[in-house]
Amino acid sequence: MAEAARDEAGRRQWLRVAAYVLAIAAWLLFSIPRRGNDGTAYWLGEIFGAALVALSIPLLIRLIYWQVKGRRPRFWTPLIFVLAAVLAVFFKVSVYANEEVQRQEKSSALVAKSPGSRSEDVKECITGALEADETRTEGPAHLGLTEPEFELLIVRYCREVERRDLFRSRMTRRQILRVMNDVAAAMVARGELPAGTSFG
């Protein structure tokens, strides 16, 4: 009887530890934001801030409940980290949705700023290029371009893709590079990009 009780207690302890490990892992994992082009130190700071904010609310709720109950239940529980993980997901989705809105607004502004097609295909193409660039730690600098040069390039590129009626086809890497180099060559000739700008 005593041995069965010890086994049951051991099983419960193991399940409790497993619950803590899984809950904490989920909280930390969901707190990791998408890596942007602001550098490693900034990204690590974002992780710490996101994890701390997500955890602070469940901790506050638990503290109030614990005080109301006269500090009787055990303060720490896996549920704290489960709620933190849920909040981390909610915050992340909210941030991504806000970033998408900002990209779409910037895309519309870039299209409106220069003459040419203003179709939805062009706007979506520009939005996609902006999103892809945000994932690079070095930003447009990896192309040897400034931000304004990069923005003008993607506007011209997306309009050229539409002019060649390539939005409805599955573009290969070779086709993408051909269009980019054709656009870049024309911009270099007009003095809009540095001499020698090309993509391979």
Placement of tokens 């893709």 in the chain: 161
pLDDT score at 5: 63
For the chain, the domains span: 1-95, 114-200
CA dist., res. 122 & res. 161, Å (int): 8
CA atoms within 13 A on the CB side of 137: 7
pLDDT score at 3: 66
- Distance from the Cα of residue 31 to its chain's centroid: 11
In the structure encoding, which two tokens stand for residue 126, read together?
């520009």
Nearest Cα neighbor of 197 from 162, 167, 156, 165 is 156
Q: Which parts of 114-169 fold into alpha helices (H)?
A: 120-134, 147-163
What φ, ψ does residue 197 adopt, rounded to 5°? -65, 125
pLDDT score at 187: 94
CA dist., res. 116 & res. 111, Å (int): 8
Per-residue pLDDT of the chain (200 residues; tens, 9 = 90+): 666 667 677 788 898 899 999 999 999 999 888 766 566 777 788 889 989 999 999 999 999 988 888 877 788 899 999 999 999 999 989 988 898 898 889 999 988 888 888 889 999 999 988 887 776 644 566 677 888 999 999 999 999 999 999 988 888 889 989 999 999 999 999 999 998 888 87
Nearest Cα neighbor of 183 from 198, 162, 166, 168 is 198
pTM of the model: 0.69
Q: Which amino acid is at 112?
A: A
pLDDT score at 186: 94
